[in-house]
Copies of this chain bind each other. A is one copy, B any other.
């Protein structure tokens, strides 16, 4: 039995390892086009912030370990070029240009996603750097080491852009952030808190700013939008990613949300025996029941496991994603789960929402700070639809409560009754989320 995996990052290696553990005699082959496998892409901003750390610290498991300890036939520097479903063959080319063919019984497409690089003048200039894969991180660290980078422009202020604004500031680099919209999937009050923190750390923020072209004069890079020119020593592209699904659509596999590869709850594609997992594949949203494309690490790992189980004859069905995301930016923790008001409206709900400000610790307990909770519920069903939070402590882990509530399709009323235990160093008697729920109940 041949299990072939295209892509050797989180989803691909999770699937390969899982299948091999399930059935040690299975023939498991992984084709990875780069030389890097199994690394923590999410850790890059924190690694880049520290000149003393090697980017390869982020490698979770060496290729050699997969090969020698786990018996996985892992080929790095080997790019899959085409899938031929009729003959169950994948054609590939290795780093030397040699054409290769791989037979499979089951196939996993775990090709991930690529950074969006807009088709504008100057996008190829030296110093214009994307941040997605480990090699991008390597390039950025090398550029920082080899150039006198005193200022950097972030093009795009999504999670990576926000994390990088902290990362570069820590290295003493002046940061300029440009973005079309700012935290558009977040409540305005929540986004405002982040904005103020960026300002407090001297990050200049230009919203409604769409880069039209990039120019280089000497060592300086210049971007412009309308009449507004900005200049820096480095340009980090963080405009998001798009799914690497072309190899799948070329093979006749159906695409789903945002041209990602459509999979069922068993992460199988429209072609039997071909699975997909990770940043290239879509997933069910537990709140709406609809397909969405939210490329995040846990989803990739979980779907990889499911693929590795299901190719071994198990029947693992995934519930899907809840739209959870958390990040740190300077001293702030930011968290969301479920739907924003706009997303809820788009999904056909009749949302009501509330944003409250509370304290992170009990009355009179020293060290307390502000914490904002935004909560969205459905007027028709009373269901909790989403929660967002920002604050200096207790935000990221707190969101796990409403996340679980979303999986359980709980009402706001029922959530407001949960026994969220209290101790003075950690929250007021009424947890800020309960205060929000108590108030939201009245609006439903």
Residues in A lying within 8 Å of B, measured CB to CB: 10, 40, 42-43, 46-47, 50, 57-58, 60, 286, 296-299, 301-302, 318-328, 333, 335, 337, 362-366, 394, 396-408, 410, 414-415, 417-426, 429-431, 433-434
Contact = CB atoms under 8 A, between A and B. Distances in A.
Contact of A364 (B57, B318, B406): B57
Contacts of A328: 423, 425-426
Contact of A424 (B43, B320, B417): B43
A419 B407 contact: yes
B401 A420 contact: no
Contact of A404 (B297, B299, B327, B401): B401
Contact of A417 (B319, B394, B421): B319
A222 to B, nearest CB: 33
Contacts of A326: 421-423, 426
B420 A324 contact: yes
14 contacts: A10-B429, A42-B362, A43-B362, A297-B422, A298-B431, A319-B417, A327-B423, A333-B426, A396-B423, A397-B397, A402-B404, A403-B419, A404-B405, A405-B408
Given A57-B364, A425-B328, A400 B420 contact: yes
Given A397-B394, A410-B407, A286 B324 contact: no
A81 to B, nearest CB: 30
A46 B397 contact: no
A365 B298 contact: no
Given A10-B429, A396-B426, A430-B301, A421 B364 contact: no
A60 B363 contact: yes
Given A40-B424, A401-B403, A404-B408, A419 B299 contact: yes
A365 B46 CA distance: 7
A164 to B, nearest CB: 13
